């Protein structure tokens, strides 16, 4: 009984010190890579151990230090980087620059372009399109920005600057997921929209704060929760990054925290860390044949910068008044097993009068071009038909009039 009591007391001391450390991490915003919180925790633990052992023999005085030693060792693992803290870039290719622009905006946000995306873009290029796919600031081979410079406004202005830099007049733009949000907001900015000939908005996220707060209804069941776990190393199994990314996701640590720097977090985050999010981009029927989206050399994702961009969208005022004045011909693509919120898509359809057609893609999830079956071929046919102003391969559905029934039937 005495031994059990001592073990229980020691365990409580360890848990208490770890809880204190986490609270100090939040209070100090991870200052000094977590060293400020760790030093304070260690100091408090040592002081408490000395107080408890003040009337014991010299051997007895060492016993209270054991829980402190265990707790400081556990929490120290949160403060020690296990990847380089300077940015590691994927290798750079040397593809020739083409003339006629079709610009691709990938999802993420602040993520490198996936292998599946590259293969799909090669298919479009093989059909006569000169495709430009730039990696947005902080993603892939692009340099990092100071954290406070990441925003949806910056992303929109970068699109305008990129099209101007091409110097080829107006461009067609294909935006996917968060890239579709950038494109949507660009269509609401006349100075940028005037440089866009046609816009393909594929599986968009929320375009502003009111949209982000809408009721949440998804499409047909995705593979989330039923797909086999992704293999490979995970940063979230390392205490330092599990704590940092977890607290950031909960909103307890700022994206620009002092615990884990932006470059270190980018280096640490792996494709396996996105396991459930990746599975949610596929239909439930494809749960056991989800393709590999990235390689270790290609993958790049900045979780902190991505959260920062998402928060600037959620904090932005409505863009509906500006979007209703858009005149750039646009097409909306919606996946049957979409993990995106349906109201994000239907609100955009209702508020943008320049959307000329909607293509509901059966049999695919959020990542509509995924190399499975004829999915890439069908997506390419829909996109090229619109860009060439040819009849749509699929019915124009849902139309604006179809929106109430579309939501009611949980399509």
Q: Are 209 and 347 in contact (CB under 8 A)?
A: no
- Give Cα 349 to chain centroid, integer Å: 23
Query: Got the DSSP string for 51-97?
Result: HHTTTS-HHHHHTTHHHHHHHHHHHHHHHS-SS-SS--PPPPP-PPP
> How high does pLDDT run on average in the chain?
91
Place of tokens 């932006």: 262
| Strand ranges in 140-255 using DSSP code E only, listed in sequence order | 171-176, 196-202
Q: How many CB atoms lie within 10 A of CB 47?
A: 11
Q: What is the pLDDT of residue 97?
A: 44
Within 13 A of 42's CA, how many CA atoms are on the CB side?
Answer: 14
Model confidence pLDDT, tens digit, residues 316-373: 999 999 999 999 999 999 999 999 999 999 999 999 999 999 999 999 999 999 999 9
Q: What is the pLDDT of residue 386?
A: 96
Distance of alpha carbon 13 from alpha carbon 18, whole angstroms: 9
Residue 99 above 90 pLDDT? Answer: no
Residue 101 above 90 pLDDT? Answer: no
| Confidence at 18, pLDDT banded by 50, 70, 90 | very high
Q: Are 251 and 369 in contact (CB under 8 A)?
A: no
Model confidence pLDDT, tens digit, residues 154-181: 999 999 999 999 988 999 999 999 999 9
Closest C-alpha to 305, from 258, 250, 248, 241: 248
Residue 147 above 90 pLDDT? Answer: yes
Distance of alpha carbon 315 from alpha carbon 162, whole angstroms: 25
| Confidence at 90, pLDDT banded by 50, 70, 90 | low
229 vs 182, higher pLDDT: 182
Q: How is residue 272 written in tokens?
A: 């396996």
Q: Are 391 and 402 in contact (CB under 8 A)?
A: no
Q: Which CATH architecture has domain 102-222+310-408?
A: 3-Layer(aba) Sandwich (3.40)
| Percent of the residues in the chain that have a pLDDT greater than 70, as a whole number | 97
In this structure, the chain runs to a length of 411
- Give Cα 158 to chain centroid, integer Å: 18
- Neighbour-count burial for 49-79, b at 16+ CB within 10 Å, e otherwise: beebbeeeeeeeeeebbebbebbbeebbebb
Model confidence pLDDT, tens digit, residues 359-382: 999 999 999 999 999 999 999 999
Distance of alpha carbon 160 from alpha carbon 165, whole angstroms: 9
Closest C-alpha to 337, from 180, 206, 175, 226: 226
Residue 98 above 90 pLDDT? Answer: no
């Amino acid at each position: 009984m005495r031994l059990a009591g001592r073990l229980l007391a020691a365990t409580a001391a360890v848990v208490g010190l770890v809880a204190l450390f986490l609270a100090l991490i939040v209070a100090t915003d991870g200052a000094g890579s977590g060293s400020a919180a760790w030093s304070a925790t260690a100091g408090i633990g040592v002081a408490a151990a000395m107080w408890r052992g003040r009337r014991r023999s010299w051997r007895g005085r060492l016993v209270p230090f054991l829980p402190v030693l265990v707790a400081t060792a556990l929490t120290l693992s949160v403060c020690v980087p296990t990847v380089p803290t300077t940015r590691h870039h994927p290798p750079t290719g040397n593809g020739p620059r083409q003339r006629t622009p079709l610009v691709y905006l990938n999802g993420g946000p602040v993520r490198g372009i996936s292998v599946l995306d590259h293969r799909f873009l090669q298919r479009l290029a093989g059909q006569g399109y000169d495709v430009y796919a730039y990696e947005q600031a902080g993603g892939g081979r692009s340099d990092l920005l100071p954290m406070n410079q990441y925003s949806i406004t910056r992303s929109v202005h970068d699109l305008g600057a990129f099209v101007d830099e091409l110097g080829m007049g107006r461009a067609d733009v294909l935006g996917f997921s968060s890239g579709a949000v950038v494109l949507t907001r660009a269509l609401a900015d006349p100075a940028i929209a005037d440089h866009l000939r046609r816009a393909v908005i594929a599986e968009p996220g929320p375009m502003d704060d009111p949209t982000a707060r809408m009721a949440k209804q998804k499409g047909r069941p995705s593979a989330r929760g039923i797909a086999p776990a992704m293999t490979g190393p995970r940063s979230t199994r390392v205490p330092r990054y599990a704590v940092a990314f977890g607290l950031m996701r909960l909103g307890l640590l700022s994206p620009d925290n002092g615990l884990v720097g932006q470059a270190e977090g980018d280096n640490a985050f792996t494709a396996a860390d996105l396991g459930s999010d990746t599975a949610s981009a596929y239909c439930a029927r494809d749960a056991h044949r989800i393709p590999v989206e990235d390689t270790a050399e290609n993958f790049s994702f900045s979780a902190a910068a991505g959260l920062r961009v998402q928060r600037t969208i959620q904090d932005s005022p409505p863009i509906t008044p500006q979007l209703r004045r858009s005149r750039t011909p646009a097409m909306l693509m919606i996946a049957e097993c979409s993990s995106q919120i349906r109201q994000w898509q239907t609100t955009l359809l209702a508020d943008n009068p320049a959307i000329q057609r909607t293509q509901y893609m059966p049999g695919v999830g959020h990542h509509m071009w995924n190399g499975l079956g004829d999915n890439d071929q069908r997506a390419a046919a829909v996109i090229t038909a619109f860009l060439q102003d040819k009849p749509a391969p699929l019915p124009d559905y849902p139309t604006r009039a179809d929106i109430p029934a579309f939501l009611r039937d949980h399509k």
